[in-house]
Structure 1
Amino acid sequence: MDITASVPSVIEKTAKNKKLKVYIAVIPPIVTHDDFLEELKRNGFNISDACKYDKGLCYAKVFGGVVISNGKSFIHVYLEGFVYEGNEGEQFSPCSFTENPYACYAFDDGSVLCFTKEKRGKFIDNIGLRLIVR
């Protein structure tokens, strides 16, 4: 049995003076070789063993969408649409994002990401891990 695995690319940002991590699963590209996939293969496709390094990042790769983590717990949001770089936006917070995800948000590094339903930027992937078994 031959298994080919792929995951979406993940945009990683920090907010609230690095107290929050935000992971956004996007395509293109679909990634077929990265540390997570190698760890997954080494562990016989046992996701819990492969996800010891960063649960929020791992969750974004496995399930897609947007994941907001404080290091202890996380919020997972399925969001249909696209994300692109913007010029200005409000400071990112979980409350404002879950209430109104289709807006522009500023992050710790000074960047701004805008979420929209319009075809612009990168597509937000709500599928995550893909496996082809031959």
Structure 2
Amino acid sequence: MVLTCLATLFSWIAVGGFDFSDPGKATHGTWSKLVSTAANRAAFIDSLREFMSKYGFQGVDLDWEYPVDPKRGGAPEDTENLVLLVREMRAAFGSAYGISLTLAPDYWYLRYFDAKAMESSVDFFGFMAYDEWMLELRAF
């Protein structure tokens, strides 16, 4: 049964995550720098395409937590530059590789993702509907 399922199994690489942008880490400002110039974006896209081809991945999930947030290494131009990255990725990948983007569930962070502008370039958005809590909330 497992062998039968493998024919339809898709494996994607995830890039980023919460710890990736933690203050004090070497990768703290990496996302913002990565998207800041066309040359940086092109180098990332080429490297990513080579990596996915070499290791057999069918797509990539971008998990940037969180654009623009200065505490997490962000800059005001991150929103627009992330849109450029995703559009340039789609142009480079065509339909050969999938692209997804992880979105934050709360307005404070979500407002810096221009999902509408990226919608036509991604296969899907993942919505982080976990880790949200407040003392006022109780069991549903």
- Per the normalisation by structure 2, the TM-score is 0.27
Give the structure with the larger strand fraction.
1
Answer with 1 or 2: which has the greater Rg.
Answer: 2
TM-score, normalised to structure 1's length?
0.28
Taking CA–CA contacts closer than 8 Å with sequence separation of 6 or more, which of the two structures ends up with the larger relative contact order?
A: 1
